[in-house]
Amino acid sequence: MPLRSDFLWGGALAANQCEGGFDQGGRGLANADLLPFGEGRIAVIRGDDVPLEAEPGRYYPARESIDFYHHYREDIALFGEMGFKALRLSIAWSRIFPNGDDAEPNEEGLAFYEDVFRACREQGIEPVVTLNHYDMPMHLVTAYGGWRNRALVEFFERFARTVFTRYAGQVRYWLTFNEINIMTSACFMGAGIIFHEGEDRYRSIYSAVHHVLVASARAVRLCHELVPGGQIGCMLNAGIYYPATCNPEDIKAAQDENRKHYMFTDVQVRGAYPCYVLKEYERQGFKIPWDEDDREVLAANTVDFVSFSYYSTRVVEASAEGKYDSNLLKSAPNPYLKLEPWGRFIDPLGLRITMNDIYDRYQKPLFIVENGLGAVDEPNEADYIEDDYRIAYLRAHLQAMKDAVEEDGVDLIGYTCWGPIDLVSVATGQMSKRYGFIYVDLDDEGNGTRRRTKKKSFDWYKKVISSNGEDLS
């Protein structure tokens, strides 16, 4: 079967990587505002050596980024010109509840997103909104210890209830937590955890995991109650792990690694912890911090679809630790694949394999909400970027996506590429790691005019959308 006639073509953004305006409109400080550019960024992301305030002389790219906060109408108009059917974006929690535990929401923040969604609708674009995309009010980190603390479940439920109620008539598609499986490695960025000396890290991380899973289920319940016709999904950082060889030990190691990530979606789709997780917790001496109704909440509030990011596959070798750090996830070498500039394997067929693996596992509609190529784009003599490398990358991945749908029968809702306009890289904080069809004049240190210009890929993607994926030439 071909792609559905209402296929949601578009692009994906995140507030912490594009919005800026960190001290405007009543927004509170977020953990993303303390991720520095340059040395030490990964340590902060992981929850080690986290400064509680900005250090003099350091650049914090999330604070201003490409200033979508002031440019959103211009940017959304460009997305409309490309023919976008959907735009995935996120709501900054600290723009709605500046401290996270506030009794009342910030009206300026609510009004801002209302206008963003209105601008989307004016362009015929369906907003796809992530409730939490790697940012949270810093007050919830310092006063409560992040998602270690059960109190955040209630605060997040208040946030979800507020935005569902306000935007019920404007937004139909929702996601709960972005790349939920990354919170176990990006502990400060994904879970608001700052580790203390001597702390039982395993207990802290997996207590946070439980609280996030419960919060996700409660958000699903609220969406179904408050948003007429609303659909809400989970979101996984996907990319299957291959065994390095046909040695059974490598195959078992790959199975174990895949399970580490699927455990999150197993709970969100099936409504209960899988047996392999319960046995692992037993071996680790970890007891899930159940509240009296958690089991019922998880079981009764499963997601409508499974969304995921896909950039690369990875490889597991049982006898050796992974050498390549791909978005905080390690991989052994793969001699059959080329590497992109930041060390991820370029594997279009892996997308098809991953789609089938997820669909076979859950039998739920899928939604690809991130896929793209980060590259150093150099303008030519005419100040134009001929990004044929990006077009080639996307063409190969879109063909693999179509094969999964047309030849394998995978049910796919849409495809939103990351990111349709240049923005700050979450892993490195760089602007020079560019993904967009639209170039933004901004360098890694925050210098530039922030002027927007179209790349060659802009018109190519416009053609892809207008043909519903039939013309990838």
> At 205, which amino acid appears?
I
Tokens standing for 296?
Answer: 């019922």
Give me the sign of the Cα torsion angle 32, 34, 40, 43.
negative
401 contact partners, CB below 8 Å, separation of at least 6: 351, 352, 355, 368, 412, 415
Give me the sign of the Cα torsion angle 262, 263, 264, 269.
positive
CA distance 332 to 216: 32
197 contact partners, CB below 8 Å, separation of at least 6: none
Of 233, 213, 94, 106, nearest in space to 166 by CA = 106
CA distance 83 to 167: 23
The residues with which 440 forms a beta bridge, in sequence order, are 452
Q: 399-437 burial, b for 16+ CB within 10 Å, e for fewer?
A: bbbbbbbeeeebebbbbbbbbbbbbbbbbbbbbebbbbb
Give the strand pairing for 173-177 and 231-238: parallel
> DSSP letter at 137?
B
335 contact partners, CB below 8 Å, separation of at least 6: none
CA distance 71 to 233: 28
Alpha helical stretches, state H, 301-343: none
CA distance 180 to 261: 9
Catalytic residue positions, numbered: 179, 370
